[in-house]
Chain A
Amino acid sequence: MEIDLTRGNIERVETDPKLTELHLGGLGTNTRLLWDRVPPETEPFSPDNLLIFGPGLLVGTPAPGASRTIVTTYSPQTLLMGYSMMGGFWGPELKYAGYDKVIFRGKSPQLVYVWINNDRVEIRDASHLRGKGAVETAELIRRELKEPNLQVVAIGLAGENRVYMASIEHGRSSASRLGLGAVMGDKGIKAIAVRGTKDINLGRPTEFLKLCNEVLAYIKVRAPNLVPEVMPILAGLGSPQEMLHTDEKWHTENFSWGNARVRRKDFWNKEIEKKWKQSLETVRTRLISCYNCPMKCGAIISAPGISTYMMKCFSKLTYAMAAFVDDLDFGFKIAQRATEYGVDGFSTPQAMAFGFELREAGILTDADFEGCPSDNEGKFYWLLDRIVRREGIGDVLANGTYWAAKQIGKGAEEYAHNNIKKHEQLPLKLGMLNPIYFLMYTTGEKANITQIEGNFPQAPFSTMELREAFVRDWIQAPNDKFKQYVLDWEPRGERSMPFYPTVEACCEIVDWQEKMHYIDDALGVCAGLSSFPLKPPYHIHNYPGIIASATGMDMDEAGLTHITKRNRTLLRAVNVRRGLRRADEKPPEDHWKKRFPELEQKLLDAYYEFKGWNKDGIPTKDSLHELGLDYVAEDFERRGILKNE
């Protein structure tokens, strides 16, 4: 469905089955739309920029965990293609309403919300929702429309004010990264409410249901059988089980506090453990899931004195750690405010810690912080309020650390030290270069490590027994070569990092892990059941049958790999057309203490070649041709990005 906000025009356009064959759906078809329809000169806040909500191909089918919506636009943060994903219930509801995507263009002169009720679609006035929290907005719309079963995505104050860290919120889920909420706010959309009561049909239903049953049966066995020697959040299934686990020794001691600065290696003790356990158990009312998924990665949080909201993943820690507050209650309280404002719980705390660091360094002055309380908790509430309203120094920090540093000058750039492609990264600072992670950090198109890592162990197992045990039932590995890499990989000695896995092996390992994410993101299957954990229920060997029986399309591993490579290359092409080059593919300088510049260049060279890109990270004419992307090669030649040879 196409909605032109400038003219208030709503148009239903049928999905082109040819595009489904070429790109599947979700991220794949979103990328194609952006390539075809938004010229690379388009500013993120231009009316010509599109904001696309695209649930994946399998969303709304009975495939467990197929709940995800991929939101795509040009990001104000990175200026590249921004895509962020959310689970929850909105994507399936849209499919049941009869739509594969909602594509917004133009800008509404007034703040509006969109009400999609099967065939009836309305653009409605949202002036009464201005300034309302994202959770609050969903409740108000539900009441206003007297429809308890509708699903809502909404922005808060941050999105309305085009804060670059603004998220799009939906219940326990959110599309948080890359400032998509800012684009939604720029277009004047406060929320999109959906209700759908139509059927979703399957190609070969009996076969499909059988495969779904196998996925469920596997989850039942795998979820409680933890992989040994692996940190708790990676040992099982699902996205990080941060709402379940109370043991935060690993995160609090390995992740850096403040503006990704200080490791507190003795932080976790008996007293903290007891207090934090109590904090979580007091506020957590229930562990909850997304649509049609047996995992419980989220939680309902009801802390005393604040309204109830839902949470997932890591944001219980990010604010507390950035603010140097040792009390987890603070984490839950400030996250509630942040959720209503609709901001990314990943970048926002870092931008705030960055602000206070600049003040300490004398680069920002007390005048910038007039009225700011002096205690750590108070300081962070104060600055959060300024950022989402774009008031004073908040207006500068609302653009993220990269742009804020540029604007502030006076050496502030040194303090924006934790970015890749202008975007804040996990506050992780480590000892020695990890070649696999080097490639993933530098070349990942989303500039977010969790969206490319996953199926291969993060570190070698300590003993041969453990390695053998791991590969024994590793049905997910693409072939036996990968099993050999695990068997041969040692914590120290000749076959250890950074020179083992070898450059060639690193390329294969990274490519495989990334491929699984691109498949998930085209299908709308949650990474937590597929590309993120070790030994997941979905993998390269069962996906072709699942896709084929769901859609009736012909599909095998080679075909799926080919489509995925096409999607991945087209996304690279979109970004190349917007200026992305090898020079941009750098990890934060201080991510590893011990670097290996020569090896790093070798890795990049080899990986680019493996991907069919030239030395500058641009897909070559031959590889584009092989993927049926000749139109990209022609465009590149016309623009002088590739030389016509």
Chain B
Amino acid sequence: MSKVKKKVKVIKIDVDKCNGCRACEVVCSAFHAKPQYSSNNPARSRIRVIRDPLRDVYIPVYAGEYTKAECAGRDRYVIDGKEYGECDFCRASCPSREIFKEPDSGLPLKCDMCEDDPPQEKPLCVEWCINDALTYEEREEEVEEEVKLEDVEIGLGSMVDKYGLQKVIDTVARMAKKE
């Protein structure tokens, strides 16, 4: 595989500045609605504020990769005297929790940095966080070229993980018949 130059988009998360308002969730779900902005629903958001007010935990977390199995152990971190669960920082769409999945289909969600045509100046969560808990920067990196899975394949993969290959094949076959 060849090396290519890649623009890496970075969102810096300053948890101390987060006021817990969840505007990031609102605008994320609105942006990704089809048609764009036609609806909003934080349950579909690809960023979630992991929030436990009484423990003063406010952590904006972005949806990362889908994983079919949850972690065997769950560690706890103590940082500056405050305790966090390791899931509080985790980006995975994972069976152990409901976030980063479409609420109706259960399909996994992943942050795409608000890919748009024409491109947005910065991801909208950053745009809407006027307290600057989220800030945006770009940098260049050399990386190996990768084969990108089609969206459909990622989705189907997770369905296979959840229901088994045979069930998915049967369902697709049945749906094809109906068409």
Q: Does A288 make an interface contact (CB < 8 A)?
A: yes
Whether A201 contacts B39 by the Cβ 8 Å rule is yes
Per a CB cutoff under 8 Å, which of B20, B21, B37 touches A209?
A: B37
Q: Which residue of chain B is the closest to A118 with respect to CB atoms?
A: B103
Q: What distance in Å separates the Cβ of A263 from its nearest Cβ neighbour in chain B?
A: 35
Q: Which residue of chain B is the closest to A294 with respect to CB atoms?
A: B130
Binds B, one of A192-200, A575-583, A603-611: A192-200
Q: How far is the CA of A130 from the CA of B93 in the complex (A)?
A: 38
Q: Does B158 make an interface contact (CB < 8 A)?
A: no
Q: Which residues of A, 278-306, contact B by the 8 Å Cβ criterion?
A: 285-296, 300, 302
Q: Which residues of A contact B35 (CB under 8 A)?
A: 205
Would A310 and B130 be within 8 Å (CB), given that A61-B40, A209-B37 are in contact?
no
Whether B19 contacts A201 by the Cβ 8 Å rule is no
Q: How far is the CA of A206 from the CA of B52 in the complex (A)?
A: 33
Binds A, one of B25-33, B144-152, B165-173: B25-33
Q: Which residues of B contact A300 (CB under 8 A)?
A: 53-54, 56
Whether B54 contacts A135 by the Cβ 8 Å rule is yes
Whether B103 contacts A197 by the Cβ 8 Å rule is yes
- What per-residue 1/0 map shows which CB atoms of B116-142 lie under 8 Å from chain A? 000000000000111100000000000
Would A198 and B19 be within 8 Å (CB), given that A135-B54, A205-B36, A220-B130 are in contact?
no
Q: Which residues of B contact A199 (CB under 8 A)?
A: 33, 39-41, 44
Q: Does B91 make an interface contact (CB < 8 A)?
A: no
Would A289 and B19 be within 8 Å (CB), given that A197-B43, A300-B53 are in contact?
yes
Q: Does A589 make an interface contact (CB < 8 A)?
A: no
Q: Which residues of A contact B54 (CB under 8 A)?
A: 135, 139, 300, 307-309
Whether B30 contacts A205 by the Cβ 8 Å rule is yes
Whether B41 contacts A291 by the Cβ 8 Å rule is no
Q: Which residue of chain B is the closest to A138 with respect to CB atoms?
A: B54
Whether B26 contacts A292 by the Cβ 8 Å rule is yes
Q: Which residues of A contact B2 (CB under 8 A)?
A: none
Q: Which residue of chain A is the closest to B54 with respect to CB atoms?
A: A308
Q: Does B22 make an interface contact (CB < 8 A)?
A: yes
Q: Which residue of chain B is the closest to A217 with respect to CB atoms?
A: B130
Whether A294 contacts B53 by the Cβ 8 Å rule is no
Q: Does B62 make an interface contact (CB < 8 A)?
A: no
Whether B23 contacts A202 by the Cβ 8 Å rule is no
Whether B19 contacts A202 by the Cβ 8 Å rule is no
Q: Which residue of chain B is the closest to A171 with respect to CB atoms?
A: B53
Q: Which residues of A, 380-411, contact B by the 8 Å Cβ criterion?
A: none
Q: Which residues of A contact B33 (CB under 8 A)?
A: 199, 205
- What per-residue 1/0 map shows which CB atoms of A153-193 lie under 8 Å from chain B? 00000000000000000011000000000000000000000
- What per-residue 1/0 map shows which CB atoms of B90-126 lie under 8 Å from chain A? 0000000010000100000000000000000000000
Q: Does B58 make an interface contact (CB < 8 A)?
A: yes
Q: Which residue of chain B is the closest to A93 with respect to CB atoms?
A: B42
Q: What distance in Å separates the Cβ of A551 from its nearest Cβ neighbour in chain B?
A: 13
Q: Which residues of A contact B22 (CB under 8 A)?
A: 89, 291-292
Per a CB cutoff under 8 Å, which of A197, A201, A291 touches B21?
A: A291
Q: How far is the CA of A205 from the CA of B39 in the complex (A)?
A: 8
Q: Does A498 make an interface contact (CB < 8 A)?
A: no
Q: Which residues of A contact B42 (CB under 8 A)?
A: 96
Whether A62 contacts B27 by the Cβ 8 Å rule is yes
Q: What distance in Å separates the Cβ of B39 from its nearest Cβ neighbour in chain A?
A: 4
Q: How far is the CA of A292 from the CA of B26 in the complex (A)?
A: 7
Q: Which residues of B contact A294 (CB under 8 A)?
A: 19, 21, 23, 129-131
Q: Which residue of chain B is the closest to A201 with respect to CB atoms?
A: B39
Whether B26 contacts A293 by the Cβ 8 Å rule is no
Whether A202 contacts B130 by the Cβ 8 Å rule is no
Q: Which residues of B contact A201 (CB under 8 A)?
A: 38-39
Most buried by B among A199, A205, A209: A199
Q: Does A624 make an interface contact (CB < 8 A)?
A: no
Q: Does A219 make an interface contact (CB < 8 A)?
A: yes
The interface on chain B, measured as residues whose beta carbon lies within 8 A of the other chain's beta carbons, has a size of 31
Per a CB cutoff under 8 Å, which of A61, A96, A285 touches B43?
A: A96
Q: Which residues of B contact A295 (CB under 8 A)?
A: 19
Q: Which residues of A contact B44 (CB under 8 A)?
A: 199
- What per-residue 1/0 map shows which CB atoms of B50-70 lie under 8 Å from chain A? 001111101000000000000
Per a CB cutoff under 8 Å, which of B36, B41, B52, B103 touches A200?
A: B41
Q: Which residues of A, 343-401, contact B by the 8 Å Cβ criterion?
A: none
Q: Which residues of B contact A262 (CB under 8 A)?
A: none
Q: Which residue of chain B is the closest to A210 with respect to CB atoms?
A: B37
Q: Which residues of A contact B21 (CB under 8 A)?
A: 289-294
Q: Does A64 make an interface contact (CB < 8 A)?
A: yes
Whether B23 contacts A310 by the Cβ 8 Å rule is no
Whether B56 contacts A293 by the Cβ 8 Å rule is no
Whether A286 contacts B41 by the Cβ 8 Å rule is no
Q: Does A53 make an interface contact (CB < 8 A)?
A: no
Q: How far is the CA of A294 from the CA of B30 in the complex (A)?
A: 18
Q: What distance in Å separates the Cβ of A607 from its nearest Cβ neighbour in chain B?
A: 38
Whether B23 contacts A293 by the Cβ 8 Å rule is yes
Whether A292 contacts B23 by the Cβ 8 Å rule is yes
Whether A202 contacts B39 by the Cβ 8 Å rule is yes
Q: How far is the CA of A149 from the CA of B99 in the complex (A)?
A: 10
Q: Does A216 make an interface contact (CB < 8 A)?
A: yes
Most buried by A among B40, B56, B128: B40
- What per-residue 1/0 map shows which CB atoms of A197-227 lie under 8 Å from chain B? 1111110011011000000100110000000
Would A197 and B41 be within 8 Å (CB), given that A292-B21, A293-B21 are in contact?
yes
Whether A286 contacts B56 by the Cβ 8 Å rule is yes
Q: What distance in Å separates the Cβ of B170 from its nearest Cβ neighbour in chain A?
A: 28
Q: Which residues of A contact B38 (CB under 8 A)?
A: 201-202, 205
Q: Which residue of chain A is the closest to B48 with respect to CB atoms?
A: A149
Most buried by B among A172, A201, A310: A201
Q: Which residues of B contact A197 (CB under 8 A)?
A: 41, 43, 103
Q: Which residues of A contact B131 (CB under 8 A)?
A: 294, 296
Most buried by A among B35, B38, B54, B56: B54
Q: Which residue of chain B is the closest to A96 with respect to CB atoms?
A: B41
Whether A198 contacts B58 by the Cβ 8 Å rule is no
Per a CB cutoff under 8 Å, which of A135, A200, A286 touches B40?
A: A200
Q: How far is the CA of A294 from the CA of B36 in the complex (A)?
A: 23
- What per-residue 1/0 map shows which CB atoms of A313-331 lie under 8 Å from chain B? 0000000000000000000
Q: How far is the CA of A275 from the CA of B33 in the complex (A)?
A: 51
Q: How far is the CA of A60 from the CA of B40 in the complex (A)?
A: 8
Q: Which residues of A contact B130 (CB under 8 A)?
A: 216, 219-220, 294
A172-B53, A205-B39 are known; give 17 further A-B pairs, CB within 8 A.
A60-B40, A62-B40, A135-B54, A197-B43, A198-B41, A198-B43, A199-B44, A202-B38, A209-B37, A216-B128, A286-B56, A290-B21, A291-B22, A292-B23, A293-B23, A294-B19, A308-B54
Would you give 9 A-B contacts (Cβ < 8 Å), ordered by A? A62-B37, A96-B43, A199-B44, A205-B30, A216-B130, A289-B20, A291-B22, A294-B21, A294-B129
Residues of B within 8 A of A (CB): 19-23, 26-27, 30, 33, 35-44, 52-56, 58, 98, 103, 128-131
Pairs of residues from A and B, 7 with the lowest C-beta to C-beta distance, nearest first: A197-B43, A205-B37, A197-B103, A199-B39, A289-B21, A289-B19, A199-B41
